[in-house]
Structure 1
């Protein structure tokens, strides 16, 4: 698929549950965000290809990974086609600087351990808070140095930006980046239940984000107000079946996250999520996804193209 060109994805008459605040036949704008740029060459190549063809409109960068600096220039040629933000990473990777509390052996903890620390108060101590703040500053600097500009937004690898002890540093960093937005992961309960995709996982991820949403609102930080894309990556349901559910009834300022990639040896070495990335890439680049957007009358856009009439949900 790499290197082929497709026409813009627009229009279609039959979007379900039309938003009464929008004129009839006006396409619903959607921000489609590909996570993990920088993780591996195959992930980077897949994301760039989808951005070039108008199938992805944002990508989140793991700036602590070595494949960010080597592939930043290749992404720079697409900067007018997608938002490029920081995927703040506090799990499973070597940090960019010393973190004797959170990474005493030179490697950040797995997600379960980090979450346990967050909800037992370990991340609230002054030493841990300083480490998180300093590592965030280093990852922003690594992003900016290779990209030539500040990130358009900040979110978190494995949604760590929502955790107690982490979200404070994220909000402070965003407040110092005028115009930057934050990804919120909360969804209305009815939407999660209606979708019937990884319901416990989606509720958990969304439930973690209430504190971040309140803090962002108080500081006037822009954000999406709908979120989807959570599933179990087990491959028990084809991605072609999942995406229509993620797009069901969207409105407001929706963001859907995806994880496309082309398997390569580096990806297999650093991450267990390999074949699902290929499946996502194949679907997002194919005609079935284009037809879905047309049927639902959905227009892929950057954050600036989302409806300005609402700021937050919940």
Structure 2
């Protein structure tokens, strides 16, 4: 699936983030705890430099807690990165973010100047809700859909902290093909920019392998199917996603599956692990090397031309003749 959703306001937002970063003491990146790697904006990593970075694994109540701990260890192994988990279940715990900001900007906190913090995150990751909790008032518009915030704003949180809020942004090209599906499955991509069937098949294939018991319980199945199509057909019968003539309505059952995945009705699920991502990165390197080798081979064939054996022989003889003539001229000098 190709992701074709990078609206103009996202391009503008990335540009504004780059321009404002020099004024910022600490960067806060809100990640989806179910997909910490896929929801991490590589453009932010490129421009962060040496600034401390708090990575918030939000929607922790929807993610597999054991895998989230693995991701925290993985992220905190990076220079200048520290993490915290937040969730809709315990909004008051989000207040710890203010203390972490002051702790990691101790020198600025001890001065008379305000700490400038910038908060970023992909669409629909819950950034606006977090801001309202930190500010103790409704500042940012919230909604269970991507791209609610459209422009950058500065918010005085009190206690000497000013927050630069930025719109939810993706990036122009998602390199990892699996990340495209995970972003769509988690709700970071607008419905109109994805194919339900395509994303639903991806989610079903992953879930029957990683969380078979949760699927079996949720859809009241006697046994879990071995393939995604078999699972979707069985689930469709349980949920009445059947068209005239008894045919399965794949679009409808995929929509049901994704809606229940995003809302947490299936249970606490993570869509990627550090081990999975490490292997995917190796696969991407291998694929890139293979593509580069194929390109070089095509370029060499083009350079040589489509020569028949007879033409190749004549070309070799002409080359030999020129080399021999050149050698005689050198000897005659």
Name whichever structure is richer in helix by fraction: 2
* Higher Rg: 2
| TM-score normalised according to structure 1 size | 0.28
| TM-score normalised according to structure 2 size | 0.27
Q: Greater relative contact order (Cα 8 A, min sep 6): structure 1 or 2?
A: 1
